Structure 1
Amino acid sequence: MDTVSLKDVEELLKLIYAGNIPYLVLNSTTKTSVLLFYFRLFGTLGTRPGFRKLLFATQTLVVLWFVGSILPGIFRCHPIHDSWNPKLLGEPDVRHDCINDNTYYFSSSVLNVALDLWILLLPISIIWTLQLSARRKVGLSAIFLLGGFLCGASIGRAYTIANVSLSDFSYDTAPSAVWSSVEISFGIICACLPTIPPVFQFCSRRVRNATSQRRTTLESNAVWYSESTATRGRQNERRYLDEELTTLRPAYSNSKGPSERSGIRYGAEAIDDNEGVPVAMRRSNQPSGW
Structure 2
Amino acid sequence: MDPNGPALKPPPGVVPKLDNPPNRNDIAIGVITACASVATGCYWGALYAEIGLIYTPGYFVHQWDVRLKDMIAVQYYVFLFGVFYSVVLPLLKVTILLEWCRMFAPRGHRSEGYFWWGCAAVIFVQVTSGIGIVVSLNLQCIPHSAIWDITIQATSKCFDLYKLQVASASIQLISDVAILLLPQQVIWSLKMSWRKRAGVSVIFGLGLLACISAAVRLQTTVVHGKAKDAVWTLPPLAFWALAEMTCGFFIVSLPCIPKILKETGAGSKIKRALGFSSAGDTSKRQWESDGTGPRSNHSRLAGSTVSNTYYRLDPLKSSESTEYLRKGSQDVGITRTTKISVMHEGNADDRYIYP
The TM-score, its normalising length taken from structure 1, stands at 0.64
Partners of 1:26 and 1:184 within 8 A in 2: yes
Counterpart in 2 of 1:49?
Answer: 112
How far is 1:55 from its partner?
2.4
* Alignment partner of 1:132 is 2:192: yes
Of 122, 141, 149, which residue of structure 2 is paired with 1:85? 149
What is the Cα deviation at residue 13 of structure 1? 0.2
* Cα separation, partners in 2 of 1:122 and 1:27, compared to 1, 3 Å: same
Is the 2:86–2:130 Cα contact (8 Å) retained in structure 1? yes
Distance 1:178 1:55 in 2: 28
Distance 2:110 2:139 in 1: 45
Query: Identity over aligned residues, as a percent?
Result: 25
In structure 2, what residue type is equivalent to 1:85?
D
**Residue 252 of structure 2, aligned match among 184, 191, 198:** 191
Aligned ranges 1:68-147 → 2 under 5 Å: 68-86=132-150, 97-147=157-207
Shift of 1:35: 0.5
**What SS does the aligned partner of 2:141 have?**
coil
**Matched position secondary structure for 1:2:** helix
1:128-168: per-residue Cα shift (whole Å, max 9, x none)?
22222211121111111101001111111111111014421
Asked whether 1:62 is paired with 2:123, we answer no
1:13 counterpart = 2:75? yes
CA distance in 2, matches of 1:114, 1:52: 17
Find the aligned partners of 1:116 and 1:95 in 2 and give their Cα distance.
40
The amino acid that maps onto 1:109 is A
Change (3 A) 1:88 1:138: farther
Q: For structure 1, which runs of at least 5 residues remain unmatched after alignment?
A: 209-290
Cα separation, partners in 2 of 1:177 and 1:146, compared to 1, 3 Å: same
Structure 2: how far apart are the matches of 1:53 and 1:186?
24
Residue 66 of structure 2 corresponds to residue 4 of structure 1: yes
TM-superposed CA distance for 1:199, in Å, is: 1.1
Unpaired runs of 5+ in structure 2? 1-62, 270-355
**1:28 maps onto 2:100 in alignment:** no
Match of 1:248?
A: none
Match of 1:266 in 2: none
Q: Could you tell me how far 1:189 is from its partner in structure 2?
A: 0.8
One-letter code aligned to 1:67: I
Q: Is the 8 A contact 1:39 1:55 kept in 2?
A: yes
Taking structure 1 as reference, are residues 39 and 146 closer, same or farther at Cα in structure 2, changes over 3 Å only? same
Aligned-pair CA distance for 1:184:
0.9
Report if the CA contact (8 A) 2:216-2:240 is conserved.
yes
Residue from 225, 233, 240 that aligns with 1:179 = 240
CA distance in 2 between counterparts of 1:24 and 1:199 reads: 31
Q: Specify the SS of the correspondent of 2:142.
A: coil
1:203 to 264, 268, 271: 264
How big is each residue's C-alpha offset from its partner over 1:22-42, in whole Å with a ceiling of 9 and x where there is no partner? 111210111011101111101
Per the TM alignment, residue 79 of structure 1 is displaced from its structure 2 partner at its CA by 1.3
- Matched to 1:14, the amino acid is Y
Residues 43-64 of structure 1: CA distance to partner in whole angstroms, max 9, x if unpaired?
A: 1174972333332222111111
Looking at structure 1, the residues matched to 88 and 110 of structure 2 have their Cα atoms a distance apart, in angstroms, of 33
Tell me the amino acid that sits aligned with residue 123 of structure 2: Q
Letter of the 2:222 partner, please give it: A
Question: The residue matched to 1:85 in structure 2 has which SS?
Answer: coil
Moved more, 55-64 or 172-181: 55-64
Which AA in structure 1 matches 2:129? W
Q: Does structure 2 retain, via aligned residues, the 8 Å contact 1:9–1:170?
A: no
- Whether the aligned pair in 1 keeps the contact of 2:142 and 2:156 (CA below 8 Å) is no
Root-mean-square deviation (Å): 2.4
**Partners of 1:48 and 1:144 in 2: how far apart?**
22
